Amino acid sequence: MSSSDAAAAAPPDDDAKLQCFLQWLQANGADLRGCTIRACGRKGFGVYATAPDAAAADGVVMAVPLDLAVTPMRVLQDPLVGPRCRALFEDGGVDDRLLVMLFLMAERLRPTSLWKPYLDVLPSTFGSSVWFDDEELAEVEGTTLHRATVMQKKSLQALFNDKVKALVEELLHIDEAGSSIEVRFEDFLWANSIFWTRALNIPLPHSYVFPGSLDGQQIRTGEVLGDSDLTTQQETDTTTKNSSCDENSESHNMESIWVEGLVPGIDFCNHNVKALATWEVDSEGNLTGIPASMYLILAQAGKSSVETGTEIYINYGNKGNEELLYLYGFVVDNNPDDYLMVHYPVEALRQLQSADIKMKLIEMQKAELRCLLPTSLLDRGFFGTSTSSGEDDDNKKKHFSSYSWSGQRKVPSYLQKNVFPQEFLSTLRTIAMQEHELEQVASLLGEVGSSEDGEPSDAEIKSAIWEVCGDNGALGLLVDLLRVKMAELEEGTGTEASDSQLLEKFDSNDPDDSSSATVESIEATKSRVNRRSCIVYRRGQKQLTRMFLREAERLLELSAEEQI
């Protein structure tokens, strides 16, 4: 899948490939009853409404048999490579995600693949950061995305060299037609990107996941691929797009098992936060007439407001530009779901005096050295536009009341305007402690003997540290972290203002012409889109850093005034 700025214009022969794919879908039981798939300029392909009357009754515009879905179960049951894949899977040599990627690689390289019409119409390159060349990657220097991308490229290359290349060659040798084909790293990079950009979370019926001899087989969620130092706002959904199914729908019953997989046809829907459609599974075929199928359904079923030619979008989730660019290869201008990641380097912590003690205290508090700061937090800060509700204020006061060890340190007056998570501030309080403060904390904790193992609880540790230290040291450290982050962001790519000027030039000089789709024009357009995405992302990071820094500096001023 792609976004409005995700990829360059489609090559001239894509129309023939698309027609072949549409025929393949129909021949395999898919029903595009209220939509079609067609080229859409820079986006490659998209799903468009055709006949609103056809879907007016139930809102269903496309239905695809689950037999066409590329899932771990489908790979394990493949008549050609299934037996070998199953042996690898049962031995723990591959997880479910890598299993799908190996299958995609082998089938794309195999000349006689039954999946050829589908694989031929998929994109061959991507705008996600792992595909950036050195010049494009330099556009995000100093960001979390840059560091995560560099590490991911190294990780993927190592995995390819150590495991993937040999396994795919083995799968190809099963079929004589593929025995002489060379397997390249670019093939793995392609399969990896296809999975992460197109995989859906599919609520499959239990009987479909575990048919016959596969009953009881555990589906293992992979940790080898997709995980990196890039911290996303939604840790549980960084890789696959979620359906917004009704909680009472049949696909959400207890017999459903959520599985990641590719669904040809539905996976050509592009992203929009104001999505027109979502997807569900029809186990019995009562709605679609196709048993065991996934269907695309309009969010406004029964209404005729979706005109012919309107693109049908789905929503990939509330993701910041960092995650969108890393996974999907596009950004959203003025993204309301943007976030900033702030962390204290563990290397710096190890160099501190009494580092071992502080690390132990952080561990006992179940605290972390990094935190995510969503844009939405700024609304209730000193410079925000909204005020906290009375309920929010009461919750904060209750949270802080447990911090007072002796009652001498009062709840800070700025508590209601503090936008930074207390869990992260607890970490910074611990790191910022001076030696004499550490001794005082140890003395307070020495009075605690309430727990069975004699160790203080995390709440007691936080309370003791708050009583001794307050916020001044932590907020000073937070200000320093944000200033360093800003310096890193600006060092390689300039200021927020310079990024704004660059974007103005980009947008005012945008050729927006897909009529001359030569190889050179396609590459130039792709590079231009990638660079613009980088500028939008890095400017957003600088803007958030500036705004959170202003909040932290104001908190530090007030804390210094109230410090005992």
- What's the pLDDT tens digit per position in 496-532? 999 999 999 988 876 554 445 565 666 777 888 999 9
Q: Is pLDDT of 221 > 80?
A: no
Residue 526: what pLDDT? 82
**Residue 471 banded pLDDT, cuts 50, 70, 90:** very high
Instruction: Locate CATH 3.90.1420 in the chain.
Output: 338-384+401-508+519-563
Under 8 Å between Cβ of 275 and 315: yes
Cβ of 177: how many Cβ atoms within 10 Å?
Answer: 11
Residue 207: what pLDDT? 73
Which among 472, 471, 467, 426 has a CA at the least distance from the CA of 443? 467
Owner of token pair 């307050």: 470
DSSP letter at 11 equals P
Quote the tokens at residue 553: 């500096």
Which among 186, 184, 188, 189 has a CA at the least distance from the CA of 149? 189
Owner of token pair 């990896």: 192
Distance of alpha carbon 425 from alpha carbon 403, whole angstroms = 13
Under 8 Å between Cβ of 544 and 373: yes
Which DSSP string corresponds to 103-114? HHHHHHH-TT-T
Which among 28, 164, 166 has a CA at the least distance from the CA of 100? 164
Q: Is pLDDT of 202 > 70?
A: yes
Q: What is the pLDDT of residues 390-423, one digit of tens each?
A: 555 555 555 554 555 566 777 888 989 999 999 9
Distances (CA, A) of 354 to 208, 409, 428, 448, 463: 56, 25, 15, 22, 20
Considering all CA atoms of the chain, what is the largest pairwise distance in Å, rounded to the nearest integer? 80
Residue 484: what pLDDT? 97
Q: Is 248 helix (H, G, I), strand (E, B) or coil?
A: coil
Between 136-140, 238-242, 246-250, the lowest mean confidence (pLDDT) is in 246-250
For a pLDDT cut of 90, what percent of the chain falls above it?
58
Under 8 Å between Cβ of 149 and 130: yes
- Tell which wins on pLDDT, 59 or 106: 106
Distance of alpha carbon 307 from alpha carbon 115, whole angstroms = 32
Question: What crossing angle do the helices spanning 458-469 and 472-493 adopt, rounded to 10°?
Answer: 90
Distance of alpha carbon 372 from alpha carbon 367, whole angstroms = 13
**Residue positions counted in the chain:** 564
What mean pLDDT comes out for the span 132-140?
94
- Which residues are 341's β-sheet partners? 372
Residue 234: what pLDDT? 38
Numbers of helices and strands, H then E, in the chain: 21, 9
Region of 234 please: left (phi>0), alpha (psi -120 to 50) or beta: beta
Q: Is pLDDT of 544 > 70?
A: yes
Radius of gyration of the CA atoms of the chain, in A: 27
Q: Which regions of 211-284 does DSSP assign to beta strands (E)?
A: 256-261, 277-282
Distance of alpha carbon 263 from alpha carbon 266, whole angstroms = 6
- Return the CATH fold of 338-384+401-508+519-563: set domain protein methyltransferase, domain 2 (3.90.1420)
Within 8 A by CB and 6+ apart from 414, the residues are: 554, 555, 558, 559
The dihedral built from the CA positions of residue 365, 366, 370 and 372, taken in this order, carries a sign that is negative
Residue 391: what pLDDT? 53
Distance of alpha carbon 66 from alpha carbon 68, whole angstroms = 5
Residue 252: what pLDDT? 41
Instruction: Locate CATH 3.90.1410.10 in the chain.
Output: 72-206+256-262
Distances (CA, A) of 397 to 430, 470, 561: 21, 15, 20
Q: Is 540 helix (H, G, I), strand (E, B) or coil?
A: helix
Quote the tokens at residue 361: 């205290």
CATH of domain 72-206+256-262: 3.90.1410.10
User: CA-CA-CA-CA torsion for 500, 501, 502, 507, nearest 10 degrees?
Assistant: 90
